[in-house]
Chain A
Amino acid sequence: MSELWQALAQGVLIGSTYGLLALGMGLVYGVSGIVNFAHGDFISLAMFMCLALFSAFSLDPYVSALITIPVMMAIGALVYRLLLRPMIGYKFLMVVQLTLGLSLVLQNGILMIFGGQPARTPSVVESKLIILGEVVLRLPHLIACVVAFVMAIGLYIMLRSTDFGRSIRAVHQNAHAAALMGVDVGRVQVMTFAMGLGILAVAAALLLPGTPIQPSQGLQYTVITLLVVVLGGMTNFVGIMLGGLVIGISEALGTVYVSDTLGRLVPYAIFVLIMLFRPQGLSWRAS
């Protein structure tokens, strides 16, 4: 029984971070109609940046986030302006292929600089444990969960109550009308993409402590993020966070209750079942 609670807790913790990752992708999709298949590799990039900052200055990942966030945002703005904006109007699939090319560049660029061996980035909180009743939680996971939820709520408030947030929603709901209101649609798209990468930088710092990283992990993260985004209804905030939890929990339960290899099937199977019987995913009413 405690196994179940443990798995559930684990699933919630990791699932909330998945949700955060997916929010970044959902925002970009809603505003620019682009699905970034290099998403996971940008996460890798942020993680390896933290690793580099640790090697050079002994910075804890949580601290290096202060540097990686603006750097990733700047990279995001650059990538969008140079690579993605020229593709507006062309086939969706072509843009996806472009991001795949980008994925190769990022993944192998990292490989060339850091080598292919898994590496760990130590953090002060790494080995600390929190014990709640029968459940043992690792502190980094707990921090990740809390920060993910705080950020999600923060994003939600920003979207609802600020002019910038409203302009993002306006561009998503009707870009033409938004332009008529004086919203600079192009600028919103660049900033949303940059913001997406900033969110990734946060998530990367959260996932880093205690996790070995390697350049080839990018695709895995991209696939999981895709599952969560689609499950959440693409642009539905609550849906996406819920989707993250569903995938996280099914992953955890799968590895615990089903054998280790077949357990990895569980999140995919759950995804397929939900999408078949509820095509709109887990989306909630509001946008």
Chain B
Amino acid sequence: MIKDDFFKTLGSPWLWGIVVLAALSPLVLTSYHMHILTIALVYVALASAWNIVGGMSGQISLAHSLFIGTGAMLSSALLVKLGINMWAGLVISAVVAGMLGAIIAWIDFRFQLGHLSFVLITLAFGEMAGIVVEGWDFLGGASGLLLPRDVGNILQFQFGGGRGAFWVMLGLATFIVLVNVAILNSPLGYYLRTIRDNERAAQAIGVNVLRHKTIAMVISAVLTSIVGTAYVRYLTFADPYLLASPVITIEIVLFATVGGLGRAYGPALGALLLVPLGELLRGKLGGAVPGLHYFIYGIVVIVVILATPSGLLPLLEKIIWRRRAKGLSHDGEQFGGRRGQ
């Protein structure tokens, strides 16, 4: 059912080498840099989860703030207002997010939404969710929710901030990227891509569009929600403007697109490049002149896109292929590279 390439990736020394290196990095990084890397990993996870819907299915969803918001705000509210353990909150939020995702997928199918309509309607949902959260006291209203201090009690879904949170995020990010690889090498990935390229044609050849779009959306929603819960735990403060507004979705889409839409490592690449850049800019320049860091960040985004209009990953691949082609030995190296990535 799942192509060999997935297992090849699973056993790839490159991949685990990078992961292990990353896991060891807290030992040498300052807590400031580790913080930046943690945030970057959060976005790697979020962008990769979004990629399942936005990249592979071609459905540009701007409603993912709903899932992040559910994962973050709902579990926080359950903990702070009802005393429900955050592990339980994690599961409950994930289930709720999954249901929301299924509803959105159903609406998309039932009303035959075109691509642009889907974008705008999910945007409308995202905005509406933000307004609801701001107005609903249970979820913290406009002032958000403050979580109990993180003292490292695993049973309370606490990882001790700093390194603990870093490793959790690394684990989540790696897991979600592997989920991407798995899907791309499975029948689901194949169906999603046919749906993306031509939905009518896919339907005509018997692909169950509703089922596969729903599966993709639910997987994406659940994963996103889980990251949301972990993220809010790390931040210790549930800020509705960060976690429940379309702004975060727009950032995620930026990373996924700039990195390489629909590819397993694309969103990771985009996030790993742009998030540290943004944070470093904010650190160095944020204080002096307000807005300068974002100004430069915006310029960087424009320059990167003009330079790599097809995405970073495709560009990197072109460079790697050129090198490989030059070094092609007489015994005919295996062509085809890593498919499904």
Contacts and interface: CB of A to CB of B under 8 A. Distances in A.
A binds B: yes
Interface of A: 83, 86-87, 90-91, 93-94, 97-98, 100-112, 115-116, 215, 219, 223, 226-227, 230, 234, 259, 261-262, 264-265, 268-269, 271-272, 275-277, 279
Interface string B281-324: 00000000111101101111110011001110000000000000
A108 B131 CA distance: 25
Contacts of A276: 107, 111, 113, 121
Interface of B is mostly: helix
Contacts of A215: 291
B257 A93 contact: yes
A271 B120 contact: yes
A268 B295 contact: no
Given A90-B310, A98-B305, A272-B125, A108 B120 contact: no
By Cβ-Cβ distance, the 7 closest A-B pairs, closest first, are A104-B298, A101-B301, A111-B291, A108-B291, A105-B298, A261-B135, A108-B295
B137 to A, nearest CB: 11
Contacts of B121: 271-272, 275-276
14 contacts: A98-B302, A98-B305, A101-B299, A104-B295, A104-B301, A105-B299, A105-B302, A112-B291, A116-B290, A215-B291, A264-B131, A269-B124, A279-B111, A279-B112
Contact of B60 (A93, A105, A108, A262): A93
Contacts of A106: 298
Contacts of A275: 113, 117, 120-121
Contacts of B132: 262, 265
B52 interface: no
Given A97-B253, A226-B120, A230-B117, A262 B298 contact: no
Contacts of A100: 250, 254, 301
B204 interface: no
B273 to A, nearest CB: 13
B45 interface: no
B291 A109 contact: yes
